[in-house]
Amino acid sequence: MIVVTAATGRLGRLTVESLLTRGVAPADIAVAVRAPERAADLAARGVQVREGDYDRPETLAPAFAGADRLLFVSASAPDNDLRIAQHTNVVGAAREAGVGHVVYTSIVEADTNPVALAVVHHDTERRIRAAGLPYTFLRNSWYFENYTAGAADALERGGIVGTAADGRIAAASIADFAEAAAVVLSTDGHEGKAYELTGDASWTLADLAAEISRQSGKEVAYTDLPAEQLAEILSGAGLPAGLVALLVDAETHTRTGALGTVTDQLRTLLGRPATTLADAVAEALKP
């Protein structure tokens, strides 16, 4: 039995779809979700839907029952302390349920990455090891979608702002990372490994602006701002303070290479090239 957490979110949902595409029977997949009604379509396809809420630890061990392999999708709370508390609940429940193999979505170079978010991932990897759970760590780099989701707005404004300077980013698409997770969940030989999963090439925010310009035919420029000014803009757009802090911190560390590492491990798992910057922009600009 493969159990996928957070399966109504983007990564979890795409992982389930990839498992089904790879021929895993729906009856051999269960999803652990906070709101089971949001996974009704999966239930209609024969996937088991179970309630599993990171904030309610009593729901987690039953949700993980019978799991030979568990995809533990990291929490999305913007506050690190809350994420660590939620992850502690998941690890404890996985141990209680006797999960055979935990596949955890971490961050690239989790043990040395200076971004604030890496604190959570490093702590969670340590807890999984300490619990004696067989594991695979999927150390995912940033999603293209973190940037390309704003492509249409960038076209309207004629520009992209940030504070990453000429720091490089080795992103891949959410679908790439989901497919890699499905590969690990449905094949053998991955226990005890920490995969550094990145795009096949790195790029800068200026490169992103140039690619949007090339494909749209409209000039889009990248403007580098002081971190404090970027934080003001993000706050003014209505983002919560915790998320603003994490985003600005990530961009600040991007300046010094925190997200620029490139490996071939993602393309090796996929058996194909990872999504390119051009492809990601083209997808974002589709009408």
Give residue-wise pLDDT tens across range 200-234: 999 999 999 999 999 999 999 999 999 999 999 99
* Structural domain containing residue 57: 2-140+172-197+261-270
Cα diameter, the chain: 56
Is position 279 within any domain? no
pLDDT tens column, 100-136: 999 999 999 999 999 999 999 999 999 999 999 999 9
Is position 53 within any domain? yes
Is position 285 within any domain? no
Decide: helix, strand or coil at residue 36: helix
Is position 100 within any domain? yes
Average pLDDT, the chain: 96
**Signed CA dihedral, 23, 27, 30, 36: sign only:** positive
For position 41, what pLDDT does the model report? 96
Question: How many structural domains are present in the chain?
Answer: 1
Residues 241-248 have a mean pLDDT of 90
> Residue 178 is part of a domain; what is its CATH number?
3.40.50.720
Decide: helix, strand or coil at residue 189: coil
pTM surpassing 0.75?
Answer: yes
For position 153, what pLDDT does the model report? 86
Q: In the chain, what percentage of residues exceed pLDDT 90?
A: 92
For position 157, what pLDDT does the model report? 87
- Residues sharing a CB contact under 8 Å with residue 41, sequence separation 6 or more, in sequence order: none
